[in-house]
Homo-oligomer: A and B are copies of this chain.
Amino acid sequence: MDAAMRGDARKETPRSRLLAAALALYSRHGVNGTSLQMIADRLGVTKAAVYHQFRSKDAILLALLEPLVSDMREVVERAECERTRTAQVESVLTGVIDLAVRHREVSALMQADPAVPALHASQSDSAALSERIGQLLLGPDPEPGRLISVAMLGSALMMTGKNPKLAAVEDEELRRQMLVAARRLLGLRSRG
């Protein structure tokens, strides 16, 4: 794999440092509550230096969301290939929990920040992926109770990683416990 690196995970570049700073500020103050000046100040540079890396503020948000959206698409498509309802639910549940844990902050941002739907009105639609995840968990003709359980699960999975009390919990532990709790919430038996 060469210099074309995906997302922000590869190496310490000016771009990746900028994305990390932006994510921290977006998480705390929201996208609309964060100015380019704040991002520049945190990096110790000027606004113009920020604009050298990204052509607009939207582009920064898009770059932050892209790895998560990409992974979401993969999870959804894999789950939709399963042939039994049970296997679909199992696949999407483990997949989404894995996402939510690996991309803790970005998940909460995508779920809760009003700037995200405003942005994706024109871009690769995260809302459509969330919708497909919901459908996979709901199945056909869901009862009201199921509808409500799935709605609760959606918020819980995407927002929980942001909880400061869980900051010290390691990924594997968090993933395992969230899966157990999610199964209880949906009324699934634990896997033997």
Footprint of B on A, CB under 8 Å? 28-30, 32-33, 112-115, 118, 134, 144-145, 147-149, 151-157, 159-160, 163, 165-166, 169, 173-174, 177-178, 180-182, 184-185, 187
Contacts and interface: CB of A to CB of B under 8 A. Distances in A.
Contact of A144 (B134, B151, B173): B173
A155 B181 CA distance: 13
Given A29-B118, A33-B114, A152 B148 contact: no
B115 A30 contact: yes
25 contacts: A29-B114, A30-B113, A32-B33, A33-B115, A33-B118, A112-B112, A112-B159, A144-B177, A145-B177, A147-B165, A147-B166, A148-B160, A148-B178, A149-B177, A149-B181, A151-B160, A151-B166, A152-B160, A152-B182, A152-B185, A153-B156, A155-B155, A155-B156, A155-B163, A185-B185
A26 to B, nearest CB: 9
Nearest to A33: B32
How many copies of this chain are found per oligomer? 2
B152 A181 contact: yes
Main secondary structure, interface of A, reads helix
Nearest to A162: B155
Contacts of A178: 148, 152
A11 to B, nearest CB: 30
Nearest to A147: B165
A147 B173 CA distance: 12
Given A29-B118, A163-B151, A185 B181 contact: yes
A14 to B, nearest CB: 26
Given A114-B33, A181-B185, A174 B156 contact: no
